[in-house]
Amino acid sequence: MRDSASAPSLSSTDGPLQSDTRSASVQLPVNVKGLKLSLKGPAGTVDILKNIDLSIRAGERVSLIGPSGSGKTSLLMVIAGLEQAQEGTLEICGQNLRKLSEDGLALFRRHHVGIVFQDFHLVPSMSALENVALPMEFAGRGDAFERAREELTAVGLGHRMDHYPGQLSGGEQQRVALARALATDPELLLADEPTGNLDGNTGETIIQLLFDLAAKRGSTLLLITHDEGLASRCDRSVTMRDGVIVSTGESAQ
């Protein structure tokens, strides 16, 4: 495993990135307006996201709910800079993601966004410790392994650091994934059905860790779930249907 990795260069369209400290002035870590995403398929172009408007305030816990195929994961992927929308405003943590190159987006995610996937997305040939340290190594942090140990201890895996994903239970793998996502103290934490592959008791443990650790760091949380009980524990729920947001969960003024 490499001891360090240099950051990719940015194109002239990338603009400055806040890589060392989060900007206290960002009151809307998620500010999306008129967002449209279309993908080409065998039957032609399919409209995935249709004129999406969404704002999330700093420190909010927001659930994203709706039936399968409603566009929830696509919206999360666009917000993470992993999918590119064709139209609209996409300001995430104070950055206009539509102006960033692929390298710029990777650098942005490295310093501002943590992602927890349903399927864990751990590197099977790396230990739990190495998996958590990896994004910090890419960021060139000299304390990557020290911080990884702290994060694994925080999620209750201090005794499993040297184990590989195949030697861990599903719940333990998701704890590793959560530790990895939070290791860089992200401004924005994105979670896509993080308990979808876990039993009820294990899932509850993961959700409690997710909420507690995000709150401790002051991270804004956007959580995709089909669990209405879980959604109700967030500050508000945003509902999607057929690529459209039908409710933002905001109280009428």
- Say if 24 falls within a structural domain: no
Strand order in the sheet with 95-96: 44-56, 30-41, 87-92, 95-96
What does pLDDT average to over the chain? 89
Tell me, what CATH number does 118's domain have? 3.40.50.300
What element of type H or E holds 236? Answer: strand 236-241
Q: Does 224 reside within a domain? A: yes
Is 13 part of any domain? no
* Enclosing domain of residue 41: 30-247
pLDDT at 250: 76
Span 104-128, pLDDT tens digits = 999 999 999 999 999 999 999 999 9
Would you place residue 148 in the very low, low, confident or very high pLDDT band (cuts 50, 70, 90)? very high
Give CA torsion, residues 39, 52, 180, 15, to 10 deg.
90
Are 122 and 165 in contact by the 8 Å Cβ rule? The answer is yes
Token pair recorded at residue 20: 């060392």
Residue 173 lies in a domain: yes
Encode 154-169: b = buried (16+ Cβ within 10 Å), e = exposed.
bbebeebbebbbeebe
Q: Distance between CA 249 and CA 62 in Å, rounded?
A: 9
**8 located within any domain:** no
- Interval 150-189: pLDDT, tens: 999 999 999 999 999 999 999 999 999 999 999 999 999 9
Claim: this prediction has a pTM higher than 0.85:
yes
More confident residue, 93 or 24: 93
Q: Is 195 part of any domain?
A: yes
Give domain status of residue 115, yes or no: yes
Neighbours of 32 (CB within 10 A): 23
Residue 4 lies in a domain: no
Three-state DSSP at 135 gives: helix
How many domains are contained in the chain?
A: 1
Q: Which of 8-12, 85-89, 182-186 has the lowest mean pLDDT?
A: 8-12
Amino acid letter, residue 70: S
Q: DSSP assignment, residue 167?
A: G
Q: What angle do CA 80, 57, 103 make, to 5 degrees?
A: 25
Cβ pair 186, 155 in contact under 8 A? no
